[in-house]
Structure 1
């Protein structure tokens, strides 16, 4: 009998299993009898489950209960027979949900018209994207130059952390890019494929920030479009976001393999491809650390730092991330956090100049990793100071689910920090 797992560990395992089953939180909840918000709390480790409810999830996701609980199934308690059983009706419902998800993807591939969106006016930046991703709105082809400008405008929204604006514009941009790519020929088709790939990269980045299940679909489509373009830079960009979705679903080794294989194909001596290669190595380092592979994580981090040092005189302007020494330092903090050794990042924070990083989104990400480091070291005041910096740089960033959870932890910590409760209410971590 193994050691029983914490609620956070069980939640992480459930999230990974659900993503591998290609089910949304609402779909999973429909089968096992929970709301989507309850599934979210369970996966965040904020809601404990009885053993019979864990068995229901194990049956739904077709996984061993031991992988969730760390202990064996009691004698006489086969799957689906404890508590509310998963009967034949539930099994049929599960098959229908899976079939419906696949059908939605097939419908989108043939360019069907979009239904009206009830989510377009909601406060969730990802809601419009979730509503439209599997069934894009109708759109006519546009000149490739106009499409490229629209993609750059969307990129500017992402880099400035204007996520609500980005969420509203992405469905139309994706529809126009898809239509233009389908109707174009020759060099114009290749350029349209680059724009389509980058629009899907932005969709994946936004979905990842919102912990949305649409991230895997957006990332997969980004890589398909990128490969159609034949351009190694968007191929690398799309591979990076796809690997992040793999890591989020618990498949860290596969994420590392994808990233290192793609990096191997890129020429480190060329400015464009060398910079993308560095970002792939950094993401691979963090993915390895998340999977507990310390040696690989640190080796990849050092390789990325060496490549960055060779290009320090002329850093590239990449699409959503950077390949600079400051970015390497941010990843170094994140790697130590993931390895459970946050003290290794303290020295890094003394030399990094977050204020000089080029975009609000990147500065907010750096302060986020810093907040996680201080939180792991149980330094509430410094955690709160870092969260305040996140809010100053990018007010919408601090409302992400992960940061709201971190803020809530500070509220209920034994050592109270002045101003945290007001901050939590202002940023949506606590009800007003």
Structure 2
């Protein structure tokens, strides 16, 4: 008798118990917090698509079970799990992958020889227990926040983790002691700081993203400024989408986009980024028509309007960014071949930041992976590592790397890359 997708939480819980793993241990393996695993097992949160292979290997079950295929009843998992892959070599490699992923999670490594300064669990603690801080002049606070943003766009996430607690505390203290127009400006800067926290938490698959995004939007609305509100809405919608609430995410993004004044170049650029994010969110929900319609609308905006000037809330509304989203949308809709021509015409090297270039190479790697081209996939992963080494240790990329190891085609250098990035120890 098959098990419905509504019972996937029970399947994961049963397989985890069969492997004698705690929720915290399983979370470390796949890059989620213990509370996120609890929500997944209660069917209150969905697994990210890219995390499914890593979760399947951590639990020693076929990946198809986590994609909604028929599975045995949960009580039999303990007996069938050990027989899902009879090949002895695969069994050894599977144990190596599980051990390596657990070790990488437990030590929270984010770069070659570099320990993560602010793991997901610590980020959650920081948001509820900010350190004491004194207010500073707004010019100083803006400079600190701009520096933190540059750290993020350079993909130096461990450095950002060290910076965030003090920055958030200082921004809160400065906002609380300000009044009038100064308070509005301080609220806008505080929103930017919380956006950074939400983005970092999202990369770690941490529930802290919810808290940070909500606080960002509250501060942005208090500022009365449309650009902070738009960017904060975007990170909140991403958090919604990652929890399976893609329809709510699309509604929030499109509603916010409709409220923006498109005669101003900065707000018009924010509108474009909201539409791009909405397109990807619709694709995550399998709504192909809405996804492609929103994507086309965003691309029309890019063609009609120049890129917005820089600033604390710099947004990326370029043709290259729209092309990256088109590749990602097609990957998510299950039509990666539609992105091949787009990828061929995309000059990733000209994108403005290491974080953006790494994300573009990530979507390119996923495209080639879906098309079954292991060599091209690995070449793109190597480019991710060149641009932003810490990106390669994100749970989704470790999962993709692990999956490559099981492909029939042997790729030179892949095993060493997997060890280097924490997918295999």
The TM-score, its normalising length taken from structure 2, stands at: 0.77
Partner Cα distance (1:425, 1:381) in 2: 18
Q: CA deviation at 1:33?
A: 7.0
Cα deviation, 1:2-46, whole Å, max 9, x if unaligned, reads: 77559xx9479979xxxxxxxxxxxx99xx9724121455798xx
Counterpart contact for 1:11–1:42, Cα < 8 Å: no
Tell whether 2:111 aligns with 1:123: no
Counterpart contact for 1:159–1:320, Cα < 8 Å: no
Task: Label 1:83 to 1:393 Cα distance change in 2 as closer, same or farther (>3 A).
Answer: closer
Name the residue aligned to 2:394.
400
Q: CA deviation at 1:197?
A: 0.2
Q: CA deviation at 1:316?
A: 3.6
Q: CA deviation at 1:378?
A: 0.7
Cα deviation, 1:69-96, whole Å, max 9, x if unaligned, reads: 777998xx9xxx9999xxxxxxxxxxxx
Q: Which moved more, 1:412-421 or 1:355-364?
A: 412-421
Residue 195 of structure 1 aligns to a residue whose secondary structure is helix
Tell whether 2:380 aligns with 1:365: no
Residue 133 of structure 1 aligns to a residue whose secondary structure is helix
Cα deviation, 1:367-414, whole Å, max 9, x if unaligned, reads: 000000000111000000000100111111111111111111112212
Counterpart contact for 2:117–2:159, Cα < 8 Å: no
Mapping of residues 123-272 of structure 1, within 5 Å: 123=116, 125-127=118-120, 128-272=122-266
Mapping of residues 411-422 of structure 1, within 5 Å: 411-422=405-416
Counterpart contact for 1:11–1:43, Cα < 8 Å: no
Name the residue aligned to 1:36.
24
Q: Which moved more, 1:274-283 or 1:132-141?
A: 132-141
- For the aligned residues, what is the CA RMSD? 3.6
Instruction: Identify the structure with the greater helix proportion.
Output: 2
Task: Label 1:392 to 1:179 Cα distance change in 2 as closer, same or farther (>3 A).
Answer: same
Partner Cα distance (1:372, 1:336) in 2: 10
Name the residue aligned to 1:390.
384
Name the residue aligned to 2:55.
none
Unaligned 5+ runs, structure 2: 47-65, 79-106, 109-113
Looking at both structures, which has the greater relative contact order when contacts are Cα pairs under 8 Å and sequence separation is at least 6?
Answer: 2
Residue 160 of structure 2 aligns to a residue whose secondary structure is helix
The TM-score, its normalising length taken from structure 1, stands at: 0.76
Name the residue aligned to 2:302.
308
